[in-house]
Amino acid sequence: MRLQYPPNVRIIEVPCTGKVDVMHLLMAFEYGADGVIVVGCLEGDCHYSAGNLYAKKRVNRVKEILDKVGVGGERLAMYNLSSGMGGRFAEIVREITEKIMELGPSPIRVATGKATGPIAEVTT
């Protein structure tokens, strides 16, 4: 489809978003990610029945933690897409990158002096 999306995004593939753990998300921020999105299958379409629903709950829990520790829950989001929605995926990545750009570098990178340009991480 030759869809374009920003190059500062790193994609980490997992078999199912049900595999994404609270710790994976927290570690991404500890390592300096400016933003993370978790992209799962459409709700009701999980091959493992509820993996994306578990992921949603974990994402919400981590958002809460990020708010409380001063990193900001708005740097983490979850989306549900089907494999046929490549166009929408590219659009979301563009949108989220813009949003993270507006938010600026993560307070973690600012504090550790590693802030150069934004890094966004995508888990699919």
66 binds another protein (CB under 8 A): yes
Task: Report residue 43: phi and psi, to 5°.
Answer: -60, 135
CA angle 22–26–29, rounded 5-degree value: 150
> Helices then strands (H, E): number in the chain?
4, 4
Closest by Cα among 56, 50, 38, 46 to 82: 46
Work out how close the CB of 99 gets to another protein at its nearest, in angstroms, rounded to a whole number.
19
Lay out the site mask for another protein across 7-26 (x = CB under 8 A, - = otherwise): ---------------xx--x
Q: Which is nearer to another protein, 30 or 95 (CB)?
A: 30
Report how many residues bind another protein under the rule CB under 8 A: 17
- Residues interacting with another protein, by CB under 8 A? 22-23, 26-27, 29-30, 65-66, 68-71, 107-108, 110-112
